[in-house]
Chains A and B, each alone.
Chain A
Amino acid sequence: MVKLLELLGRNADFTPAELSAMLGKSEDEVKKEIEAYKEQGIIKGKKTIIDWGKVPDAEVRAIIELKVTPKPETGFDETADIVMSYDNVESVYLAASSRYDLIALVKGNTIQEIAEFVSKRLSTLENVIGTATSFVLNTYKQDNEIFGNESDEEEQRSMIL
């Protein structure tokens, strides 16, 4: 049931008891389903959402678009394989837009480090015919969480009954 996944996606800390209450199922059912999802590789693990922008001396992040010549048999997979093998690459997506084919989210200690990574490692790959790098200046929202200064919106609301 997708609803279960959706709830876990919102908060990995929901207990089977809470999930069973919300979904109107038994706790055992919920536990079994979670196990099944893990076995099928649908549930991959859990992490903490961090607003890196607020951490002093935190790492730099960039979105790198890659224009790739597809191979007859493997398409973009081969290049994607290489790109994702680097530890500083956090995510890789196939986009297949008219401008770029792969999108990689990359982190580094400094802008220079990322620039060097792109020019030495990525743009030199055999099938990569172009790259465009955008540095992340500020994160407004990530993984459904809204970042930035906690707004005063709440206080503007009236305490009504």
Chain B
Amino acid sequence: MTSAVMDAHHSEAHHEPAKGIKRWLYATNHKDIGTMYLVLSLVMFLTGGVMALIIRSELFQPGLQFIAPNVFNQMTTMHALVMVFGAVMPAFVGLANWMIPLMIGAPDMALPRMNNWSFWILPFAFLMLVSTFFMPGGAPASGWTMYPPLVLQTGDAFPFLIFSVHLLGISSIMGAINIIVTIVNMRAPDMSLLKMPMFVWTWLITAYLLLAVMPVLAGAVTMLLTDQFFGTSFFLAAGGGDPVMYQHIFWFFGHPEVYILILPAFGVVSEIIPTFARKPLFGHDSMVYAASSIAFLSFIVWAHHMFTVGMPLTGQLFFMFSTMLIAVPTGVKIFNWVATMWRGAMTFETPMLFSLAILFLFTIGGFSGLMLAIVPADIQYHDSYFVVAHFHYVLVPGSVFAIMAAVYYWLPKWTGHMYNEKLGKVHFWLSTVFINVTFFPMHFLGLAGMPRRIPDYSTQFTDFNAIASVGAVGYGLSQLLFVYVVVQCVRGKGEKASSEVWDNPKGLEWTVPSPAPYHTFEVPPKISSSSTFS
């Protein structure tokens, strides 16, 4: 394999990046594509954030102030679609593109042209999705879960919604194939599977999850399409179909999707904590097994999203128990991180701060997840703000914080300059305070009986909603600071970064200069015992 890699590289080796727009349009370099993914993700994050702020402004006080109820529903639907498929997933794919070749000592991704495709599909998919706001009937307003029959009431946007979901799926599948092939075939010669860094491991598992469930989502939305336009009745009771079946198929995709959004975050945390604790990751192998069992369990818990649809008793019990079981491997991961910190010599640079916040706040999301597993209690929590609080606690201080931690951690490697540590820390503290101000009160709202996805509410929910809205505005504005810090770093305003960047970090990515040259590891590296922790 080694010689194959080298041969393959003779023809294109050492050529410099093309100039101007062509460099990006025809990009096949994993670093360029990674950068494009990350930029797109940031744009989508801000877009989805604006929608969130519109939602929170409307909910600041009872009564309708700004938008009509149907526009509100479009906002919640698009916020979710944009954040899940536009912000979080592309960000992790971008990180994978940048870092996986650097971490396993590969010269590039295995399938660079497919890589170009899988990226360039995305901007068009999102343009199409966002353009639905201007169509008769407006943007999709049936929630990102797209439950029939409601989703079939979507106006002209409907086929565009389905088609953009198809495109997003194709992009994800191509990305996943690329990542798997890269990891399996292009590791440096001495890097056995169990020696792989955790970020690579979690991405390998994530890629298999993507490959397994994105096509199922594509199937489900295709059935919606044919139900709407071609007279089938997959989900229409009148023709012998069943709307609940859609929910089963959707969540068969949807629950693994949750882990697609969080496993790479686990990987990031597993990279960062050892570096700043100056101590090897505790229980590397058990982390791999934990991530794999989480992935496996994610296929048999889907109906815990549907405890109120009317399921046989045995079904309810099965899905309750299997869901509770997920707490075990998730706990193992948390405990292993704590053990990694234990008796280390910690310093608290921005990436470490974000990782520590993940440990605390993701765990809170995990606790509410465990509570949601209990069927009788779930009947009360379901579709209330308690659920909104829960999944924002796992997605924002879980996935989004991990993405930001990763950006701060690897930004000096990408740009060759340190970011402004002081501003980074300010960004961290603002984000962490405001995220709690935003989402913690939602637990109370849900328990007190406020349903989710409503544009207006009864007056007893006023105070916590007002607090949440203030927090959301604060969190949103704080992210502008993040943009500023990143832009300044990219523009080379910080001090020069060494190739190691941090205090003796482990991993192959720290053996190449900062900024990482356009082509790296054209000759596979030798792995010395000092460059990995295991």
Is B a genuine binding partner of A? no
> Footprint of B on A, CB under 8 Å?
none
